[in-house]
Chain A
Amino acid sequence: MNVLFPLLFLVVILAAAVIFLWPLRRSRSVKKNEYENPSPPLFNEEFAEGLSLPPADLSAQQLQCLPEPELPHYYGIDRMVLLARDPHWLFAYWELTATKQDEFANHYGLEAWSTTHPVLRVYDITGIDFNGKNALGYTDIHISESTDNWYVQVGEPDRSFCVDLGRMFPDGRFITLLRSNAVTTPRASLSDRLDEEWMWIEGLYRTIGKFQFGVGSPMIVEELAMRSAGLPLGISSPGFKQEK
């Protein structure tokens, strides 16, 4: 008897909790009708609810508004991709699996992860076949644990780069975890390489003079789009209210 009583009490409390909290949860799930659901973990929970106990009063319209499935943020593959955005900036994104973290811990000890911090090492590999040791130079960027993408300002047109994501020990030791592909930043000026057999005609370039990028139809398209009546390639966007 002494054992049963507290158990019964627990059951009553649980039942009460379910009765009071259930409507709260349902209303939340119905309200979620945006395509863009910034918090993927929430979705799993709601999907499961919908399956087990669909609220009876959900109309067809509301069903359509239920959150749509979200893309996974990670795919369980160790990878780091580097893109050259313009002559001065690179963009890198990456994904580091738990397996990789385990490997690191196995190698350097269980404490190693917490005593180190993540660093992006940006190598200048212009004109060389990079093997991890022969870079012309490198820059370290100290980042936070949760970061998984980064815009790197290299400020150097027409140079080649590669980025490592690694962990740095307090003593400065750097251990590479991921290595990106190599990219070359675009040129931002005329080439210095003049063909020996070709003559350089000054007058021709003088006619061009100073110019601005993007004084072409894409610029107009963009402006139209900003003014909220034009759309991809100039097509007006029906359904979008004019600003005026």
Chain B
Amino acid sequence: MPRGYLCLVLHAHLPFVRHPEHENFLEEKWLYEAITETYIPLIQVFERLIEDNVKFRVTLTLSPTLISMFTDPLLQERYVRHLEKLIELADKEEGRTYGGPFHETALMYKKRFHEAMFTFCDRYNRNLVTAFKNFQDQGRIEIITCAATHGYLPFMMIYPEAIRGQIKTAVDLHTRHLGRPPAGVWLPECAFAPGLDEILKECGLKFFFTDSHGVLYASHRPRFGIFAPIYCPSGVAAFGRDIESSKQVWSTQEGYPGDFDYREFYRDIGFDLGLDYIGPYIHPDGIRVHTGIKYYKITGKVDLSQKQPYNPRQADEKAALHAGNFMFNRQHQIYHLSNLMDRPPIIVAPYDAELFGHWWFEGPKWLDYLIRKTAFDQDVVEMATPSDYLRNFPCNQVATPCSSSWGNKGYHEVWLCGSNDWIYRHLHMASEMMISLASQHSNAGGLYRRALNQAARELLLAQSSDWAFIMSTGTMVEYAVKRTKNHLLNFFRLQKEIKGNYIDEGYLGNLEYRNNIFPDLDYSWYTNTNELPKAASL
């Protein structure tokens, strides 16, 4: 038996950015970039590990919005076109950089894009969910779900039905696409509030994650801190994020991704090259965007103009070195902890998946090395998913986790501050209306059922925590505000029509076409359960 466990969690999520109304929609590119730079590289890492018969266990969240976009024919088609353009650009780059310091890197990109095309089209027939499902079915990754649209759940606590809508929709979609119900859930932004666990339990979920202090500050005080899960009074397990391993990777000061040999994110040919050359590969309106082709390394604390050429082989060596360092530190951590505990400790290391590859270009490589080293070079640490751990150690301490999130300052301020607090007035009103609609129209049929279901979709889309997050960071705010308002306005119009017994089918049909997420959603999940603490007046 190993001395302890490492629980790697990758949280893969993007907000629903599907805009059939425009051929070139800037925000849709988030998805395309993430597919090329994060999701496909991760898939390729897992494929190679399985081919080489390396044993590993990784936990992965596939958020319901991401699954919906992965399986959407329009977005699949658009991604292929996007990648074709990228390959065309990479071909040109091969010639342009010939004989210069960037040529090797240019060839690397060309190869990567061709491989991405093969993976996306030939191997998985454009549906990346199939890839992850394969790894799941082979027992290599445990896929968990998230709230339907990544809604910020602690601020829905006054409407348990709204939380239920988010969770039930997620579990339903997940089960349909992955062939089995999820055992656990990634709470959006790691945001927990006591009582949430009751709804998770109701939906068949057995565990979730919190930030370190979510478990550390639980009451009663957890005997093993964050190195063993605790059970909420409902019996749902909470795993707390390890501080040390997070810091090692993500600290802006001392984290691995800042290494000088790694690729510089902010020098992209989409910004660096003349419009006459790069024009066809950026936005048609001439708006410069990241192409993903970047030739420089971080170099040091120097101005962007002083960056030196990237060397893929050097960067690769660094990734191996860092993986070794990470493993070494976990071993030591576990040696120390296992002397203090009556069971092997579990180190929970969760990361946003999109930071691997997209931002930390060498991240997938690092993961590959880490998994191989853990499998072959030592026997102190073993990889495990929360389900594995709970199977082996079903008896855990009971305590109520502390309300918390993994955002700045550890609580809820990022999603409730001067720039975004106005949304809750509307989101709460819409939630209340949705609950009352669902409760008054049990067993609706035909047009009414369609309108009620679409109203629920619009509410869910308005609730994405991504919008509040973007508003708080102060960039791209306009888009986030627009999405919040539009979905709410759609909701209010549908609500009015349902109440007024007149449904404009043309309008409804248009919404169903544009916001086609969650086709199997059932509005009755919002039905009032009479446990609603009244927020309204005396």
Contact = CB atoms under 8 A, between A and B. Distances in A.
Interface string B138-175: 00000000000000000100100000000000000000
A153 interface: no
Contacts, number: 259
16 contacts: A71-B489, A71-B492, A72-B492, A77-B536, A86-B413, A181-B534, A191-B220, A204-B227, A211-B212, A215-B246, A215-B250, A218-B407, A231-B470, A235-B354, A236-B358, A238-B30
Contacts of B13: 233
Contacts of A87: 411
B243 A211 contact: yes
Interface stretch (B374-382, B441-449, B475-483): B475-483
Contact of B340 (A69, A86, A201): A201
B412 interface: yes
A202 B414 CA distance: 33
For the side of the interface on B, what is the size category?
A: 35 or more
A180 B189 CA distance: 26
Contact of A85 (B288, B412, B492): B412
Contacts of B408: 213-214, 218-219, 222
B504 to A, nearest CB: 15
Interface string B225-259: 11100000000000001010011011110010100
A178 B535 CA distance: 10
Contact of B251 (A77, A179, A215, A229): A215
Interface in B233-289: 241, 243, 246-247, 249-252, 255, 257, 265-266, 271, 283, 287-289
A235 B414 contact: no
Interface of B: 13-15, 26-27, 29-30, 33-34, 155, 158, 189-190, 194, 211-213, 216-221, 223-227, 241, 243, 246-247, 249-252, 255, 257, 265-266, 271, 283, 287-290, 303-304, 333, 336-337, 340-341, 350-352, 354-355, 358-359, 397, 399, 402-404, 406-414, 416, 421, 424-426, 428-429, 466, 469-470, 473-476, 478, 481-482, 485-486, 488-489, 492, 533-538
A225 interface: yes
Nearest to B190: A218
Nearest to A217: B352
A35 B482 contact: yes
Contact of B250 (A85, A149, A191, A217): A217
Contacts of B219: 187, 191, 193
A238 B337 contact: no
A68 B252 CA distance: 41
Q: Is the interface of A mostly helix, strand, loop or mixed?
A: loop
A232 to B, nearest CB: 4
A208 B535 contact: no
Nearest to B333: A207
Interface in A64-121: 68-72, 75, 77-81, 83-87, 89, 91, 93, 95, 100
Contacts of A75: 429
Given A217-B246, A238-B33, 12 more contacts: A81-B425, A186-B402, A192-B221, A201-B341, A205-B225, A213-B213, A216-B211, A221-B355, A231-B30, A232-B466, A234-B359, A238-B289
A200 interface: yes
Given A217-B351, A217-B352, A223-B252, A86 B474 contact: no
B10 to A, nearest CB: 10
Given A78-B537, A204-B340, A219-B408, A83 B283 contact: no
Nearest to B352: A217
Given A86-B412, A178-B538, A216 B217 contact: no
Interface residues of A, number: 83
A176 interface: yes
Contacts of B350: 216-217
Contacts of A237: 26, 30, 475-476
A190 B221 contact: yes
